[in-house]
Amino acid sequence: MPTVKAYAATSATEPLVPATIERRDVGPKDVLIAIRYAGICHSDIHTVRGEWGPITYPQVVGHEIVGEVVEVGSDVTKYQAGDRVGVGCMVNSCRECENCRAGLEQYCLNGNVGTYAGVDRDGTITQGGYSTHIVVDQDFVLRVPEAIPYEAAAPLLCAGITTYSPLAHWNAGPGKRVAVVGMGGLGHMAVKIAAAMGAEVTVLSRTLAKQDDGLAYGAKEYFSTDDATTFEKLANHFDLIINTVSAPLDVDAYLRLLRLDGTMVNVGAPPEPLPVTMFTLFGNRRSYAGSSIGGIAETQEMLDFCAERGVAPETELISADQINEAYERVMSSDVRYRFVIDTATL
């Protein structure tokens, strides 16, 4: 088994440190990828700190991965050495359940295998993208179009697809009013993608600190949610609200901003349950929904869409020794808008 360089968590409380991990030998359907860039997602931090449940250490995280194919297994037909590829939040699924057969592997009824801290079908614990190489089944590898700059492509594999999927599913487009709640890693992608789809985009953020950015990324309007008049002005206004905030908020107050048949979709995940008043849903026949990443086919569709429309995340490139500092900055929302690790520095 090849041993590769990585940056790993050794406990829930210690900083991440340089490490080596083993990757499996390249099987018949596997692709060996030399990772060039890996994005830092909030989920990485929750996971290594054990906030989403206990994990086994050492653990390498990172599920926004782009790089180059260096070797393929004997039965691989989709990729060859030199291809520009990406890997997102999952690396396997059962492929047999009705959701997998529908191309919605993220909703695999037997559980998809996360790119890190997941138990793969061979029983091993998956290790993520903060490393120099990864071995992935060809069916879970994405093609990254040349038009997307390499380091900007990484965050599309989680932040991009997590926002693209609900926007596509609920038909964001011309004539639709879309609100994006929160202007972080996910939120800024939601703004760019919704605007590229032709929707009329409004940002709802606690402060107006990122207003110039929001408008530059395609939003028509930008409101502070600390200002109570915002909720009066925008009552019964939106067709779709994408909530990217993972802190608890007053769901009813946001639901009341939906017009007839409007839907509010959570892609941020607060740890505690949030109360919803049924009468708020009765009004305007509103819906409250959740959405989780996207299937492999839809992730490819998203990458192709972003390449065609010139949509790319805003990134700040860092070296491996800045990962711990970057985590602190993510926790204090001090990033515009996604950290990306240059894996040459591992």
State which residue, 202 or 300, has the beta carbon closest to Zn ion.
300
CB of 220 to Zn ion, least distance (A): 28
Spacing of C-alpha 93 from chain mean position:
18
Burial 206-242 (b: 16+ CB within 10 A, else e): beeebbebbeebbbebbbbbeeeebbeebeeebbbbb
3-state secondary structure of 141: coil
Site string for Zn ion, 157-176 (x = CB under 5 A): -x------------------
Site for Zn ion in 62-101 (CB under 5 A): 93-94, 97, 100
| Distance between CA atoms of residues 141 and 14, nearest Å | 32
Give the integer Cα–Cα distance in Å for 342 and 58. 21
Instruction: Tell me which of 108, 167, 255, 257 binds Zn ion, using CB under 5 A.
Output: 108
Stretch near Zn ion under the rule CB under 5 A, chosen from 10-18, 38-46, 130-138, 208-216: 38-46
**Contact (CB, 8 A) for 315 and 185:** no
Binding letters toward Zn ion, positions 192-221, x by CB under 5 A: ------------------------------
From the CB of 245, what's the least distance to Zn ion, in Å?
A: 15
Using rule CB under 5 A, residue 106 touches Zn ion: no
Please report whether residue 154 would count as binding Zn ion according to CB under 5 A: no
For residue 189, the SS3 value is helix
Q: Of 96 and 212, which has the nearer Cβ to Zn ion?
A: 96
Q: Count H helices, E strands: the chain?
A: 11, 17
Instruction: State the number of binding residues for Zn ion (CB under 5 A).
Output: 9
Q: Is residue 138 a contact residue for Zn ion (CB under 5 A)?
A: no
d(CA 197, CA 342): 30
Nearest-approach distance from CB 158 to Zn ion, in angstroms = 3
Site residues for Zn ion per CB under 5 A: 41, 43, 93-94, 97, 100, 108, 110, 158
